[in-house]
Chains A and B, each alone.
Chain A
């Protein structure tokens, strides 16, 4: 069984300040972990993925995440927020490969103010 907990339903930052979106997971298997972003009325776009290679994963648009097995965390960060980063972010876990389905967190809405 696997589950994901996104610790904040909303995060508000000012443009140019760092972003931290927190995610904890549990999985019976060696997990694959993902962050997806959903802009208003849009589909889901993959930001980055961890699939048992390097623990620090770099994604698109300056985002990165670090897999910490001891803390069962996969927090998403960005050094400097941009207005266009305002969106819903989903942390996702899957058992490694196979037909396993994705288990989504409940999402964190990132609000960016000028």
Chain B
């Protein structure tokens, strides 16, 4: 039973399209994240939600909009896709507010290719 699951695993789309990536965690964690891994494999935080509330919003274009319908889900919607958006996007979750902090559990990633 996958702890943090992302769909789709691969996404190929044309420039200018709008697409969404979904993420769900069944760990009961209270905080979820989106990270972007660029072509040089560097990982950087994009967003963080705690109990459905946005708490971290790094310098990301407005075309990226996260949505958290409940604390088990954090979706990423991207408008007007550009070539530079091609990357691997990782969802992660973490339990922050109770007990010792054990770091993150990552999903397996979504490889987005914009053509």
- Spell out A's residues near B (CB within 8 Å): 32, 34, 36, 38, 41-46, 49, 51, 88, 90, 92, 94, 96-99, 101-102, 104, 106-107
Contact = CB atoms under 8 A, between A and B. Distances in A.
A51 B108 contact: no
A19 B37 CA distance: 25
Contact of A104 (B43, B102, B103): B43
A109 to B, nearest CB: 9
Contacts of A88: 41
* Interface size range of chain B in the complex: 20 to 34
13 contacts: A32-B101, A36-B106, A43-B106, A44-B106, A45-B106, A46-B103, A49-B102, A51-B100, A90-B43, A97-B101, A98-B101, A102-B43, A104-B44
Contacts of A51: 100-103
B109 A99 contact: no
Given A34-B103, A97-B96, 10 more contacts: A36-B106, A41-B111, A43-B90, A44-B43, A97-B101, A98-B101, A99-B55, A101-B56, A106-B41, A107-B41
B108 to A, nearest CB: 4
A26 B90 CA distance: 24
Interface string B51-68: 000011000000000000
Contacts of A41: 111
B31 to A, nearest CB: 7
Nearest to A34: B103
A32 B42 CA distance: 19
A104 to B, nearest CB: 4
